[in-house]
Structure 1
């Protein structure tokens, strides 16, 4: 399957489809048609270790006492940023109260190399919030004791749409707005100007904003002084076969390999064919082949399934090589990831201002003789 096939599947599978598939037992899955089996496996969402870390960090940013109006979710291609936001957050922030929409997610449109798609962005937010008569929205204000309406001109229409968005988010009880592919906002050429506009919207709206994208979003964080170095930035990390220890030696990362394997187990136990390759046995090599990016693992398994289904359910050894990404594609992703992670290190992501020794001293002073769990 190519990128276009995956994109088509993502558009076709609704939340109702995912719920229906999640309720099927093994025999019911085996009875599905080949196309339905592909859709079933694609719909699977695994709460693996790296995703749970992102979830925990985001929950801290979303806590009632949090002052983070803007949150950035950054990660490599295929990490699972969109799936996490759309399905896990969507389920967690769901509401059964009529008219309430706690979570709204849209993709930022790209309308040109130097043009910020504000109008399209506002319209998409209003559509996601179920607003009627979007083209008729007009902002109002009080002047000399009388209610005035902004005239219907192209310039004023943008202001009216923005005010309609703020009002809609308030009326719908929205807690979080997620802007996927937020790097399209960078096309204005001035991240500070863009951030001023987004922060102004976030300050006016009664909710928080989650900007989702690749390492390009770090330009926003770097250039905008009001974004905290750590609080509003969440990295969707990958699994690593090796890491540096405290003295700088490269050693095996047993925990990541184990966690990566657990994620594989969760997927392969739902393999929709009776004949199943042993992905778990190859977990260390698969970690290397996919750069530890869980979405790339899922893509590899989808390609294996696609070829096995086309072969009448029979497995062939040749499917493995055919399912792997090309060296060119993997090298391009590796280069992007390494540059992005280098920028995160330069920004001090994951670090505190004190040395490890001072943190330890601070911990001892504050803990004292209190009984504390590790």
Structure 2
């Protein structure tokens, strides 16, 4: 039985380090594909989808940073320019998707700060320099907020509207889902901005609702690192090496020793891996030691593993034709 490994770096420091988003090759691959398709313009919705825990939120933030850097000069010249927004499609206790909340979240991000030019045309108070929300019933409807959002996006020069947790648009009937997706497509057209929707495999049903949506939605697969691929296995191990390095010896090489176990248990999803590692570090902090037993307690349970694997099987089948065309048809593992 492995002896407890006493740590060289405090668990508190390691837990802080583990809150940082970790970049890896799959993120770069997806960003390259997104950038290649952005030239399609506002008439298309880019839909980035992958397994639960693959790292879609990390990808969204990486893309956000990249777009902001590409517009840095223009933003210096125009203090009111906001080239990209990242919004979460928030879930509520309501049966329907809350469009008023969604529009309000967008308007909140488009509020200006002192010194920035006010866009009076779309409801910015010239005295306070903040987005003006009238109290009248007619302008606080979803339709009224929608019009305000369109104008705000136009005047702020928003080129890309990224929406995380896109699955919250799909928790309705197909009729309502189509209506909601049409509303997003219309917002993209009217505001002149590209929409990028992030979500798990459940959002794939959106592009099959009609021929028009099938043509206008471009699916981008954010794939996991598969255990039946030598290249994927090597990359996953390099991710573990990076975590071990950043943790400055805290894990004592235990993560790399358990590379196969971690790869199989987390199904090659880096986001899930980071959840397991953070839980491990937290338990190690409490126990003041790093042990095999503590690591194994942090793994996905059999029930969790089965549920995630089933979602992956169904989702990856949608992209199976791509594997076949490239001569890389594989068994899901």
Name the structure 2 match of 1:367. none
Name the structure 1 match of 2:89. 108
Give the drift of 1:60: 0.8
**Partner SS state of residue 195, structure 2:** strand
- 1:255-270 counterparts in 2 under 5 A? 255-270=231-246
Give the drift of 1:200: 0.9
Give the drift of 1:307: 1.9
For residues 298-339 of structure 1, give each alpha carbon's deviation from its aligned partner in whole angstroms, at most 9, with x where no partner exists. Answer: 122112211222233x32221121111111111111111112
Aligned equivalents of 1:181 and 1:61: distance in 2?
Answer: 21
Give the drift of 1:349: 5.3
Name the structure 2 match of 1:363. none
| Contact kept? 2:42, 2:195, Cα under 8 Å | no
Name the structure 2 match of 1:163. 147
For residues 64-117 of structure 1, give each alpha carbon's deviation from its aligned partner in whole angstroms, at most 9, with x where no partner exists. Answer: x5565311111111110011102x112111144322222211111233554231
Aligned equivalents of 1:300 and 1:171: distance in 2?
Answer: 43
Name the structure 1 match of 2:310. 335
- Is 1:72 paired with 2:47? yes
Give the drift of 1:283: 2.2
Comparing 295-304 and 71-80, the one that deviates more: 295-304
Aligned pair partner of 2:224 in 218, 228, 238: 238
- Is 1:89 paired with 2:73? no
Pairs aligned (count): 294
Give the drift of 1:134: 4.3
| Contact kept? 2:17, 2:247, Cα under 8 Å | no
**Partner SS state of residue 211, structure 2:** coil
Aligned equivalents of 1:196 and 1:53: distance in 2?
Answer: 28
Name the structure 1 match of 2:247. 271
Aligned equivalents of 2:165 and 2:263: distance in 1?
Answer: 26
Aligned equivalents of 1:112 and 1:55: distance in 2?
Answer: 33
- Is 1:298 paired with 2:274? yes
Give the direction of change, closer, same or farther, for the CA distance of 1:60–1:161 in structure 2 (3 Å limit): same
Name the structure 1 match of 2:116. none
**Partner SS state of residue 100, structure 2:** helix
| Contact kept? 1:102, 1:173, Cα under 8 Å | yes
Name the structure 2 match of 1:126. 107
Aligned equivalents of 1:68 and 1:133: distance in 2?
Answer: 27
Aligned pair partner of 1:175 in 159, 176, 196: 159
Give the drift of 1:215: 1.4
Aligned equivalents of 1:279 and 1:296: distance in 2?
Answer: 14
- Is 1:38 paired with 2:15? yes
Give the direction of change, closer, same or farther, for the CA distance of 1:68–1:56 in structure 2 (3 Å limit): farther
For residues 204-257 of structure 1, give each alpha carbon's deviation from its aligned partner in whole angstroms, at most 9, with x where no partner exists. Answer: 012111111111111111113224569711111011122xxxxxxxxxx21111
Normalising by structure 1, what TM-score?
Answer: 0.71
**Partner SS state of residue 110, structure 1:** coil
RMSD (Å), alpha carbons: 2.6
| Structure 2, gaps ≥5 residues long | 1-7, 113-129, 328-333
Name the structure 2 match of 1:199. 185
For residues 261-294 of structure 1, give each alpha carbon's deviation from its aligned partner in whole angstroms, at most 9, with x where no partner exists. Answer: 1222222210155552332343233211111111
Give the direction of change, closer, same or farther, for the CA distance of 1:114–1:274 in structure 2 (3 Å limit): closer
- 1:292-331 counterparts in 2 under 5 A? 292-312=268-288, 314-331=289-306
Aligned equivalents of 1:286 and 1:37: distance in 2?
Answer: 19
Aligned equivalents of 2:22 and 2:142: distance in 1?
Answer: 40
Aligned equivalents of 1:104 and 1:286: distance in 2?
Answer: 34
Give the drift of 1:41: 1.4
| Moved segments of 4+, more than 4 Å | 65-68, 228-231, 272-275, 348-352
